Amino acid sequence: MNRILVWDLPVRLGHWLLAGGFVLAWLTSESEELRLVHALAGGAVVGVVLFRVVWGLVGTRHARFAGFVRGPGAAFGYLRGLLTGRAPHATGHNPAGGWAIVALLALGLLSGATGWLTYNEIGGEVFGELHEGLATAMLVLVLLHLAGVVVGSLAHRENLARAMFTGLKRGTADEAILGARPFAAIALAGWVALCAWWLAR
């Protein structure tokens, strides 16, 4: 197998915007002075999630949900394979990673929605408590995701973190995507900025 283009620019940019937005939101969550920064970061997370859902339907081959979301049996089978050293290599997301992505997107959207309600003082303390619980669950999932990246990189002898910068992974020529979709990445950046402004205003 050769190094081929697997991750388009919207996937890569969205990944790092989501990661940065979540980290910034987490670091500013307890500061009243940085409340606006927290809201902007949360809005950015929501913007990325909404774009990623659409891109998961119309994006490039390995970005589509149909290309990486498998049944629970496939996910558990992949995890068992990691323990025995027999996990099959996946050119795109592996089955377990696919479920982690879906869960991260769901938690990002729910935590953003409850955060917006809290920010606008709607619903009293109920949504505030729910927002904190969802954010904590997302943090746990992020840490599990990072552990999965390390384990997967070692198991398959492939730097998965670097692939999310370069877009390149091991695969056969017929598995490569045809282009990086730079204009879609520009649209993503503009959309995220708009969501961050609108949700924090």
The model's pTM: 0.94
Confidence grade of residue 201 (pLDDT, cut at 50, 70, 90): confident
72, pLDDT greater than 90: yes
1, pLDDT greater than 80: no
Task: Give helix 182-200 / helix 35-58 axis angle, nearest 10°.
Answer: 140
Confidence grade of residue 124 (pLDDT, cut at 50, 70, 90): confident
Q: Name all domains of the chain by residue range, CATH numbers in brackets.
A: 2-200 (1.20.950)
85, pLDDT greater than 90: no
25, pLDDT greater than 80: yes
Contact between 127 and 118 under an 8 Å Cβ cutoff? The reply is: yes
For 44-69, the DSSP string reads: HHHHHHHHHHHHHHHS-GGGSHHHH-
Distances (CA, A) of 189 to 19, 46, 48, 178: 14, 13, 9, 22
